[in-house]
Structure formats: C-alpha cells, structure tokens
Amino acid sequence: MTNNVFTTTDQDGILSRSTTKPVYLSKVEIEGIQNLDDDFLKTLISPLLSTSDHTVNSLNNAIRETTTNFNKTGLFEKIACSVDNDSTSLLAANIKYPFTNEVLIPTAAKFKLSQSQGTLTTLTTSTTTPVLPNSNNNSNDFNNESLFSFDFLNSNFKGYADSLLFNYTLSSINFNNNLSLSYNSPLNNDKKNQLLIDIYRSYSNNQSYSKHDQRTYSVFTGYQYSNFYDIKHDNNNNNFSYLTGLNIVQDEVLNSNTNLLENNISSKVSLINNFSYNNLGNYDPSFNSSQSSSKNLIPSSSGCSLALKSEVAGLDKSSRKFHKLAFDSTFYRSIVKNVLTFEQKILIGNIFPITIFNNSADADKSTGINVSDKFFGNLTGFKKNSIGFNKDDVYLGGNSILFKSSTLYSKFPKFLSKSHVLDPLRFRLSLQYGDIYSNVDDLKKVFQNLNIFSKFSEIKHINKLSKVFATNLSVGLFYSTKFSNLDLSYNIPLSNRACDISRPGLQFNASISMA
C-alpha cells in the first residue's frame, strides 16, 4: 500500500489561519519522477493546473486529488507533499482577490515521490500432493502435480503507466504449458479507460479424463473501464469494472483416443462482455497490481464479489455459434472481530446454442460447440474434471453448470502465539457440491426438485444433496499471504454417484512466489 504524507510547512502561520484565505499557486515542484511521459504527468497533476486562484481549502482538495492520481498509477511506493509560502515568487504581488480585495498569497506545492521498480520478475512454484490416497483407486491418478510459473512485468512500459506482462506456466504432468503476453494502456492518459491486448497459447494433455490433447491459440483486443481509477471514486467500496472486446481463437484437438471426438482444427470469433463488482475494500483490478498476488487472502470485512461473463461466438463464418453465460458470486460475512468468517460461493452457467435447428440433439453438431467451449467440473475430493455428465467414462464437459460452496474460516486463539505469526493461518470447514449437465433442461429439473437458493438448509438436507450433486466435505488448515499459500485438508466425498470419480483422503497444496 502506498504511503501518503501531506504536510503544510507554514512558517508565518498565514496558511493555517483560515481555510477560506485566498492563495495563488505559483509553483508545483515534483521530485522523484523517472521515465514518465510529460503529457501523462500533466494529466496526473491536472487538479492543480486547472487554476492558480485558490482558497486554502480548495488548494488542499486539489493536492489530495493529485496525490490520489499518483497513488492509483501503482508506480509509487511513497508520496509526500508539502505546501509553503513561495517567497521567491513576484507573480501575485499585485494580484488581488476580487471579492475581498485581499492580496493573494503566493504558494508552492512540493511533491516528493519514491518510484517503485519499473520491472518485476516473479517465479512461482506450487505442488498438489495426495498424502493418503484411497488404496482401491488407481495409483496413476495420484501423481503429484507441480506447477512452475514465470512472470515478467514492466509496469511503465512506454512512460504512462501502461503495463506489459509475460507469463509462462509449465506443469510436471505431461508437460502441459501456457504462454501469454498481455498489454494494457490508458486511453487519453486516463487509466480508468484502458486498451487491452492479450496473446495466448496453450497445450494441454487431457487424456486422463477426456481422452484427447488440445492446443489453443487466441488473440484478444478490448476495452476496460474501472471506476477504481476515477479520482472521484471512494475506493474503499463499490468497485465496478466492465470489459468488452473481440476474441479470435483457434483450437486443435490432437491424439484423440475416443470415437466421441475427432482430431480437428476449428476457430471462432467471439464478442466478450464481462461485468464485475465488489465491495471488499481497496481493490485494484489491473493485472499489474501488487494486490493481485494476494487474491487468495480472506477479506477482513463483510461484503461480496460478483461477476457476470458473456461470450457470443459466431461473428465470423465458422460453425461455432453460441452464447455462453456464467454468473459467479462470493459473499463474505465476518463476525466476532473477524475471528469467524463465513464464505459462500455460487457459480451457475449455460451455453445457449445459436441455431435454426429445432432438434436439441443436433445442437452441438449444428452450432459447432467445441470441447474447449464447454463447462467442466473441478470439485475438491474428486478427480480433476471428472464429475457429472459423461459418455462411456469420457468427460467432454457439459453445456450447463451449477456449483455452490459454504465455508467457515476461524482464526486461532491469540494465546497460541505472542506475535501475529498465526494471523494468516485459518481453520477451515467447507461443504462443496455441484454438477455438470448436458443441457439447460437438466439444470431446470434441479431447480424444480430442489430449490437451493431459498429456505434450504444444507446441513439438514445433506443426505438429499449427496444424491443430486457431487458433494464433498472438507476440513483442514489454510495459510495465505501475498507470497505463499498452504492448504492441508482432509476430503470426505459424501456422494456415491456412478457418474463421478471420487478421491477421498488427505491432500496438501502449496505455492510460493519469489520476486
């Protein structure tokens, strides 16, 4: 978090006598600027440049707005400002305030900035280990997975707080890998309006659950608005962002070992529209934020995070024509001085085929919905992407999804440690359930038979839940900081459905970032 210091160095006491005292801003001094575009700098200090005639109160407000502008660029670790009489200025000597005929006081605003390092290189390693696998399951399903991620970030690429991010991620299992290059740039030197460009390439071996490999290339170009960067916005709550743009994708299915899926190459051009809202506190939505590394931290206050994601494919002449819609929400409630935090997550989504055919059985064929477009169910306590709708034990995803989880986090008593070392450590008890469906009609049946969104007691009806959904109860310890995450949990799958592959037992996850 940027440290802001505002002081008034007023040796004669003139500026502190009255907030309505007329002053003349004769000088703005800035120390500590490095590689910042001149036009962008003028935009940042525009509250001070708009006029030179101020009262003490209006000058203080302009300085605070300018300090907020510096803060929201994310480029400065410390921001200090002082205001003093400008004894060297003769500009205001004969200038009088028109209403009171008082001589304006020549004043200088001085900023001292400590600019953060322009580039950042981060290495992240993570591992997932089933400590006590079920002896009845195939041991090949319990290979430890280690992920290696390399990030290089330039947060001031061309001098106006535009960001360039390179990411490469490699998995120890079958050498699955992702590579991306992302660039965002303020429009008209205004960071609340940004241009985004993202180039992405991935290769994934999905033989363990869907009997095929997949290679994907994509280019996204779009626009993002975020009120977080608006100087008039109170960034302690009610953060809203909107993203829209075109996504060009080419998918290639390789090494298919099932007659349900043929090796092929397909493409799509889709319109992306994403809306997000949260009131969980000071939150920077950009990928170059230092807070992005702490996205797994448990909020210290009650609130919610909401996201609505929409993709309309078929803007070109390709066969992939559909509307994919998903709503993701998380609600937090903290009580007893944040000792107890309740978290509830809900994810619901559906793919609506855009087709002139009436036969729903031909929907996937007629609209060209690719396996990469589908929803997959990755639920704790079960094999990866191996729950719900499948054909001959081949999981190719579904057109509808419903997931819900309820979690209780609890701090440990202070007497266990004299320091705050244990503060990031939480006890966690979580109930998760969900399913993947072939179409929206199957999803509707669930709402008709089991209304989980009103007056439904999950604990009281847990037996009923386990018959309808893949259901898991998890208990364990969770430790999270900006640079590390540790998760030790014991998973108890409560459902015993033939369409799911459960993985009960003790599981350990760990990730460490080094900058």
- Quick: pLDDT tens for 361-375: 444 444 568 899 999
Band the pLDDT of 437: cuts 50, 70, 90. very high
Band the pLDDT of 205: cuts 50, 70, 90. very high
Q: What is the largest CA-CA distance in the chain?
A: 92
Mean pLDDT of 371-392: 90
Q: Are 311 and 259 in contact (CB under 8 A)?
A: no
Q: Specify the CATH number for the domain of residue 89.
A: 3.10.20.310
Strand partners, 511: 126, 485
Outline where DSSP puts E strands in 131-212: 145-154, 163-171, 177-187, 190-205
Residue from 479, 470, 293, 451 nearest 388 by CA:
470
Q: Are 156 and 118 in contact (CB under 8 A)?
A: yes
Same domain as 399, residue 369: yes
Tokens read off for 29: 């001094």
Same domain as 397, residue 332: yes
Residue from 324, 41, 256 nearest 159 by CA:
41
pLDDT at residue 176 above 60?
yes
Q: What span, in angstroms and rounded, lies between the C-alpha atoms of 470 and 502?
A: 9
Same domain as 106, residue 212: no
Q: Are 489 and 472 in contact (CB under 8 A)?
A: no
Same domain as 278, residue 312: yes
Per-residue pLDDT reduced to its tens digit, 440-450: 888 888 877 76
Q: What span, in angstroms and rounded, lies between the C-alpha atoms of 305 and 328?
A: 8
Tokens read off for 106: 């020549």
pLDDT, residue 53, reads 78
- At 232, is the secondary structure helix, strand, or coil? coil
pLDDT at residue 401 above 50?
yes
Mean pLDDT of 393-404: 92
pLDDT at residue 136 above 90?
no
pLDDT, residue 337, reads 79
Q: What span, in angstroms and rounded, lies between the C-alpha atoms of 336 and 496?
A: 37
Per-residue pLDDT reduced to its tens digit, 125-135: 887 766 554 44
Same domain as 361, residue 301: yes
Strand partners, 107: 25, 85
**Range from 200-214, 303-317, 359-373, 399-413 carrying the lowest mean pLDDT:** 359-373
Compute the half-sphere exposure of residue 461: CA atoms within 13 Å on the CB side of its CA.
14
Same domain as 472, residue 337: yes
Domain stops at, among 83, 115, 147: 115
Surface-to-core class of residue 76, CB atoms within 10 Å of its CB (0-12 exposed, 13-18 middle, 19+ buried): buried
Same domain as 351, residue 478: yes
pLDDT, residue 1, reads 41
Domain stops at, among 97, 115, 133: 115
pTM above 0.95, yes or no: no
Question: Measured at the alpha carbon of residue 510, what is the angle toward residues 509 and 511, in degrees to the nearest 5?
Answer: 135
Q: Are 165 and 177 in contact (CB under 8 A)?
A: no
pLDDT at residue 177 above 90?
yes
As for how many domains the chain has, the answer is 2
Domain stops at, among 95, 115, 135: 115
Residue 414 is given by DSSP the state G
pLDDT at residue 168 above 50?
yes
Residue with tokens 């005639």, as numbered in its chain: 53
Domain that holds residue 46: 3-115
Distances (CA, A) of 26 to 38, 92, 202: 20, 8, 56
Same domain as 303, residue 276: yes
Q: Specify the CATH number for the domain of residue 173.
A: 2.40.160.50
Same domain as 309, residue 406: yes
Same domain as 149, residue 72: no
* β 119-130/145-154 pair status: antiparallel
The backbone torsions φ and ψ at residue 467, rounded to the nearest 5 degrees and listed phi first, read -90, -25
The backbone torsions φ and ψ at residue 40, rounded to the nearest 5 degrees and listed phi first, read -65, -40
pLDDT, residue 11, reads 43
Residue with tokens 């089933």, as numbered in its chain: 130
pLDDT, residue 452, reads 57
pLDDT, residue 454, reads 55
Same domain as 129, residue 66: no
Same domain as 124, residue 105: no
